[in-house]
Amino acid sequence: MSTSLLLQYFVIAVAVLLSVWVVAKRQFPGIVRKLRVAIALPLLREGRPAWMQLVGRWISPVKQTAADGCGGCDSCGPKI
Partner 1 sequence: MSAAAPLRLALVGNPNSGKTALFNQLTGSRQKVANYAGVTVERKEGRLVSRSGRHYAVLDLPGAYSLHAASLDEAITRDLCRGYLPGEPAPDVLVCVVDGTNLRLHLRFALEVRELGKPMLLALNMADVARRRGIHIDLAVLARELGVPVVETVAVQQNGSAALVEQLDRMAEGLQPPQRQIAQGADLHQETRRLLAAAVQMPTRTASIDGALDRWLLHPVFGLVALALVMFLIFQAVYAWAAPLMGVIAAATGWLGDSVGAVLPEGPLSSLLVNGVIAGLGGVIVFLPQILILFAFILALEESGYLPRAAFLLDRMMASAGLSGRSFIPLLSSFACAIPGIMATRSIQDPRDRLATILVAPLMTCSARLPVYALLIGAFIPQRQVWGVFNQQGLVLFGLYVAGILSALMVSWVMKKWRRDKGEHPLLLELPSYRVPQVRDVLIGLWERAWIFLRRVGGIILALTILLWFLLSYPAAPGDGTLSAIEYSFAGRIGHAMTGIFAPIGFNWQICIALIPGMAAREVAVASLATVYALSAADDSAAAQALTPLIADGWSLATALSLLVWFIYAPMCISTLATIKRETNSWRKMSFATIYLFALAYGASFVTYQLAVLLGAG
- Nearer to partner 1 (CB atom), residue 24 or residue 41: 24
The 3-class secondary structure across the chain, one letter per residue, is CCHHHHHHHHHHHHHHHHHHHHHHHHHCHHHHHHHHHHHHHHHCCCCCCHHHHHHHHHHCCCCCCCCCCCCCCCCCCCCC
Q: How far apart are CA 47 and CA 54, in angstroms?
A: 13
Among 1, 51, 62, 69, binds partner 1 (CB under 8 A): 69
Site map 2..41 versus partner 1, x via CB under 8 A:
--xx--xx-xx--xx-xxx-xx--xx--------------
Of 32-40, 42-50, 54-62, 71-79, the segment contacting partner 1 by CB under 8 A is: 71-79
Interface residues with partner 1 (CB under 8 A) are 4-5, 8-9, 11-12, 15-16, 18-20, 22-23, 26-27, 65-80
